[in-house]
Amino acid sequence: MIAREVLAVNAQLGHAHVDLKCIDANFHHHPERIAPAVDRAIRKAREDGFEHIFIGYADCGTGGELDKVCAAHGVARIDGPHCFSFYLGNATFEAAQDEMMTTFFITDFLARHFEAFLIKPLGLDRFPELRDTYFGHYQRALYIAQTDDPELDRKARDAAARLGLRYERQLTGYGDLTQALARL
């Protein structure tokens, strides 16, 4: 879900030494699959001769299981409970946690892939009446924009409308991702 962003930050930093390997973004729908997939990816990277490995996943709903995998392999991951937090800045997110409880987050990735990544997997294309079941407790959709792209802004606004949520936008850039990758 952050591959494009990692590539952009690495280009800004002039990092030619970073080799990006991705696992399926759809694992976010099944967080119990993230830690085992990362474990396999780390093992494969070690077999391929990579010594220094950094995990570009926040916890993403693994309930600490990803941290156990990272500890077992002696690798670090980006800090934070999820990408929304590190894009906003983990300290900023932590300070505003109560306000965030009723916020549905949209990133550049989700704005680009809203139909394929959210609507279809949740069945909202076939059962639109499920919208309130899934999103009824949210009050707003906050588009935390990594880039200043009017087309993505339009898509994020449309996504918020489709979910029946008040739309807000905050240009965050890459947040704590930049500092995390700068240390590589």
HEC-encoded secondary structure of the chain: CCHHHHHHHHHHHCCCCCCCCCCCHHHHHCHHHHHHHHHHHHHHHHHCCCCCCEECCCCCCCCCHHHHHHHHHCCEECCCCCHHHHHHCHHHHHHCHHHHCCEEEECHHHHHHHHHHHHHHHCCCCCHHHHHHHHCCCCEEEEEECCCCHHHHHHHHHHHHHHCCEEEEEECCCCHHHHHHHCC
pLDDT in tens, 80-134: 999 999 999 999 999 998 889 999 999 999 999 999 999 999 999 999 999 999 9
- Asked if residues 107 and 117 have their Cβ atoms less than 8 Å apart, the reply is no
Q: What is the pLDDT of residues 10-47, one digit of tens each?
A: 999 999 898 999 999 999 999 999 999 999 999 999 99
- 38-65 average pLDDT score: 96
The overall pTM is greater than 0.75? yes
